[in-house]
Chain A
Amino acid sequence: QKEVEQNSGPLSVPEGAIASLNCTYSDRVSQSFFWYRQYSGKSPELIMSIYSNGDKEDGRFTAQLNKASQYVSLLIRDSQPSDSATYLCAVNIGGGSDTLTFGKGTMLLVSP
């Protein structure tokens, strides 16, 4: 059974700090990895995708993937109060399937 695990949090950081969000997945053949942000009562909003080992940067966001350790992370630099949300990790195993398996999400709270 495919599992995506995230610490539910909340992760509390002060404004301007780096927030580090982590995710592990169980299916070794997983190929595509996505981070979504979800504000309370709203839909998931895509932040980053990452497909190969290493780092991928987009503005204040950096996704890191380590397939050997089955681990993907999201770093948010210069965190802002508007970043306060739940961050969802989603994994696609590839092959014949294009469905996403989501983790329960980590709640991030950025205090001014």
Chain B
Amino acid sequence: EPEVTQTPSHQVTQMGQEVILRCVPISNHLYFYWYRQILGQKVEFLVSFYNNEISEKSEIFDDQFSVERPDGSNFTLKIRSTKLEDSAMYFCASSSGSHNEQFFGPGTRLTVL
């Protein structure tokens, strides 16, 4: 069964450093998302991406964040200058259509020291 994959599973970085989180969505899906979940809190939407552009973003997704689909398979989330409060699980999700079911990857645990 096709699934969303994410790398790395765990990333430890120093405050102020740049990190890139990588995702490979399900191959025939066209809609891609990033969510995050701070420990003990709810899953929060960050950004949605369709047709090589951002379709929607939340207040969390400020100028420090960017997304890119560098090739036909990868979807990346970049945090330019990490802060302590960026520590969270970051989930990539993909969907075959807008408003359709979203399937989540296993997540990347980001720890900012």
* 1/0 contact string of A92-105 vs chain B (CB within 8 Å): 10100111111111
B41:A44 contact, CB within 8 angstroms: no
- Interface extent on B, as a size class? 20 to 34
Knowing A31-B99, A99-B33 touch, does A43 contact B48 (C-beta < 8 A)?
Answer: no
CA distance A31 to B104 in the complex (A): 20
* 1/0 contact string of B13-40 vs chain A (CB within 8 Å): 0000000000000000001010100000
State whether the Cβ of B11 lies closer than 8 Å to any Cβ in chain A: no
CB-based A-B contact count at 8 angstroms: 53
- Interface extent on A, as a size class? 20 to 34
CA distance A89 to B45 in the complex (A): 14
Knowing A31-B99, A98-B98, A102-B44 touch, does A44 contact B33 (C-beta < 8 A)?
Answer: no
Name the residue on B nearest A4 (C-beta). Answer: B42
CA distance A70 to B48 in the complex (A): 25
B42:A32 contact, CB within 8 angstroms: no
When distances are taken between beta carbons in the complex, the residues of chain B under 8 Å from A21 are none
State whether the Cβ of A111 lies closer than 8 Å to any Cβ in chain B: no
When distances are taken between beta carbons in the complex, the residues of chain B under 8 Å from A105 are 42
Knowing A99-B45, A100-B45 touch, does A44 contact B104 (C-beta < 8 A)?
Answer: yes
State whether the Cβ of B74 lies closer than 8 Å to any Cβ in chain A: no
Q: Can you show 19 pairs from A to B with CB atoms below 8 A apart?
A: A31-B99, A36-B104, A42-B107, A43-B107, A46-B102, A90-B43, A94-B99, A97-B56, A98-B31, A98-B48, A98-B99, A99-B33, A99-B58, A100-B33, A101-B45, A102-B42, A102-B43, A102-B44, A105-B42
B55:A98 contact, CB within 8 angstroms: yes
State whether the Cβ of A45 lies closer than 8 Å to any Cβ in chain B: yes
When distances are taken between beta carbons in the complex, the residues of chain A under 8 Å from B95 are 98
